[in-house]
Structure formats: C-alpha cells, structure tokens
Amino acid sequence: MRLTISPRLHALPFVMLCSTALSGCASTTGGASVLGYYWQSVRGHVQLMQAAEPIDEWVTRPDIAPALRERLQLAQRARTFAISELGLPDNASYRRYVDLKRPAAVWNVVAAPPYALTLHTWCFPVTGCIGYRGYFAEADARAEAAELAAQGLEVDVYGVPAYSTLGYMNWAGGDPLLSTFIGWPEGDFVRLLFHELAHQVVYAKNDTLFNESFATAVERIGSARWLATQSTPAARDAFATSEARRSAFRALTRATRTRLAAIYEQKEALTLEEQALAAMKKEAMQAFHAEYAALRAQWLQPQGGGMPLATTAQVAGYDRWVAKANNASFAAQAAYDELVPAFQALFEREGRDWPRFYDAVRQLARQPLAQRHAALRALQPPPEPQ
C-alpha cells in the first residue's frame, strides 16, 4: 500500500471461487474449509459490487464533498490517460466508486519459514499458486495467521487498499474505485490505478513475482509520464519527495534481503546448527533496525530551509512495517521489487512502445517459469551501489 508502504499483494477471491466451487473441492487449508473461505470471498465481493455506483452519478450529487468530486474527476482523466497513453484496457473497471467505510478492502496473510525468504503458497485453479491469502474481515485473516504461526511459520497480516479480479468481472461492472485509496496523493493514486489495470493485460499463473514486478514497472513508467504531462508542479514535487523516501527504503530492505538470503544459504551449504543460524539472523535484523533508525532520523532532520524531508505522520507506515518485519514481510516485498528493473529494461528494448512491450511480456508469460525468470534476469541491469 502506497501510504503505509506495505506490499500491495492482491486478493483475487471471486475469480478463485468461480472456478473452484464448480470443482467441488472441500479440502482444508490452515484449519479453515476451502468452501468456507470461498463463501466469505464471494459474499464480501458481491457486497462491494452492489454498493458501487457510476462515477458520473457521484460527481453530479449536490451533497458530495468537493474534494471527493475533484478526485473522482481526476480518476476519470487518469482512466482516459491509461487507455490512450499507456495502452491499458478500455473496459468497465474503475468507472464506479464505493465508500467501504473501513480502512482496507481486504486483509492479506503472508507466511514464510523461519530460515527462508520463500512465501508459503495457496493454490487455486484460475490464478494458480499465489503467495498470499485475502480476507474481507481482518479477524479472519488474523485467525489464519495464527494457524500458520502455530505451524512454525513467520506471518504478516496487512490491509490492502485494492484488489484485482484480473478483468474477469468486467461483465458485472468491473473493479470499482474504493474509498480506501481515493484520497491518496495524486502520484500515488494514479500509480495504483495503472498497477491494477496492468494485471488485466498479462497474468502468468503460479508466478506472483512476475505478475507484481510487471505491474509495478507499468505503474512506475506510467505515473512518471502522467506527472510529467498531466500534473501540477506541486503534485510533482510532493511525489518526488515521497518517491525519494520509498527508493531509500527499498534499497535498505533489498540489502537486508540479500544479507538474510546469504545467511539462509549457509544453512543448506554448511548445515549450520539452528542456534548459530538464529544468532546470525538476529544480527542481520538488528543491523536493519539500526540502519532504518539512521534513515528515519535523516528524513526528520530539518534541511537548509528549516523543513524536514518528512513528518512523523509520513514515516508512521514505515515505522509499523519495520517494527513487525520478518521473513514473510521481506519475501512479500520482494515480489514488487526484484524484477522491476528487468521489465523497465524490456520496455526500453521495445522502443518504449506499449503494444510491443505488452506483446513481449505475453511471450514471456507463455514460457516455463524458470525460462521466463532467466530471460528477465538476463535483462536485469547491475544493482546500484549502496
């Protein structure tokens, strides 16, 4: 999520139910019946869809708050821009709005082993195996997390502002705009919109890393173009400042993932005792917390003009993420970062031509997973020096 910097892994509940309910599957996962999970998914999704109303109707209401009217009109302009300038789908999605009256659309559960950065996965017929599970009720997500923690996994639960149905529900009105992200700063708002629409262009089954990295690349390239051509100097400056924080934090977490991965590899190569492994992991996490504290202090330090780079409110989301950071949260974040530079390089290779770029991504999606990742890693530029 853009304001709280939690990964924006997507729940895809209704798509899963539409296929799996027909299969008669009734096994259990994490202590909850699959059919029970699907029931909460379809119920939550249907309630959301029924509450959504066309944006055109919202903006003509006499009692609408001016800020909401302005943002809905911005959404209409961004939707047109996504089609004409980014080649994203022209369909029913994001042409309606719903006030959810809650802080998140869904709550995701992610989990990972204590000495690995590999996400626990759940498998479904349409979406394949994915590294998260979404719930419309936070209590249900936390109950699932407790089951996984009891199995010895490290877990994380976080609110997600939007979820994608991959375009499968456009016949029923499409994915709506939600109150959970409608008030975000302009740059962050359009990024999320472009990200979600990108999932409707290409989706590779069983490959969260590919899907999220692709959509993140589209959002970054697309939002840069939007800000350069459609936005105001004030919005561009605000976005540049927040993006500088995000970039610095991504670099820190990427370095920590590298450090942890090297430790966990020693477990396999040297068969280290768990006590030694735990000590090395603890040291790496202590270093992460110390480096974040220094970064945070730098953000809050008054600059030449007397103003800091961030307020305490603007770093609160980072604080929460760092406080509960574990293998699950690091592994989930990697899905959004790891292959993004490769997709950006692919975009450049295809002459910054959106149709050609999407065709190249579709070709990759048709390849076996290992071959697909190898091709992308061959495009990956060398990491920037820390």
Decide: helix, strand or coil at residue 135: strand
Taking a C-beta distance cutoff of 8 angstroms, is the pair 164, 196 a contact?
A: yes
Single-letter residue type at 291: E
Q: Is the pLDDT of residue 252 over 90?
A: yes
Pairing of strands 96-98, 177-178: parallel
Cα dist from 261 to 5, 266, 274, 284, whole Å? 22, 9, 15, 10
Q: Is the pLDDT of residue 61 over 80?
A: yes
Q: What pLDDT is recorded for position 163?
A: 83
Q: What pLDDT is recorded for position 268?
A: 66
Q: What's the farthest any 2 CA atoms get from each other in the chain?
A: 69
Q: What pLDDT is recorded for position 139?
A: 95
Task: Please give the mean pLDDT across all residues of the chain.
Answer: 88
Angle at 349 between CA 343 and CA 353, to 5 degrees: 85
Q: Is the pLDDT of residue 219 over 50?
A: yes
Q: What pLDDT is recorded for position 27?
A: 32
pLDDT classification of 169: cutoffs 50, 70, 90: confident
In this prediction the pTM is 0.85
Q: What pLDDT is recorded for position 34?
A: 73
The 10s digit of each residue's pLDDT in 84-111 is 999 999 999 999 999 999 999 999 999 9
Residues in contact with 143: Cβ distance below 8 Å, sequence separation at least 6, in sequence order: 31, 32
Domain enclosing residue 315, as ranges: 1-386
How many helices (H) and strands (E) would you count in the chain?
14, 10
**Mean pLDDT lowest among 27-31, 60-64, 152-156, 334-338:** 27-31
Domains of the chain: total: 1
Q: What pLDDT is recorded for position 23?
A: 24
Q: What pLDDT is recorded for position 164?
A: 85
Most confident range, picked from 115-129, 249-263, 270-284, 291-305: 249-263
DSSP states of 7-72 as a string?
--PPP-HHHHHHHHHHHT---EETTEEHHHHHHHHHHHHHHHHHH-EEHHHHHT-TTS-HHHHHHH
pLDDT classification of 275: cutoffs 50, 70, 90: confident
Q: What pLDDT is recorded for position 376?
A: 97
pLDDT classification of 127: cutoffs 50, 70, 90: low
Q: Is the pLDDT of residue 306 over 90?
A: no
Q: Is the pLDDT of residue 271 over 90?
A: no
Mean pLDDT of 258-283: 86
Phi-psi group of 306: left, alpha or beta (phi > 0 → left; psi -120 to 50 → alpha; rest → beta): left
The 10s digit of each residue's pLDDT in 180-211 is 999 999 999 999 999 999 999 999 988 989 99
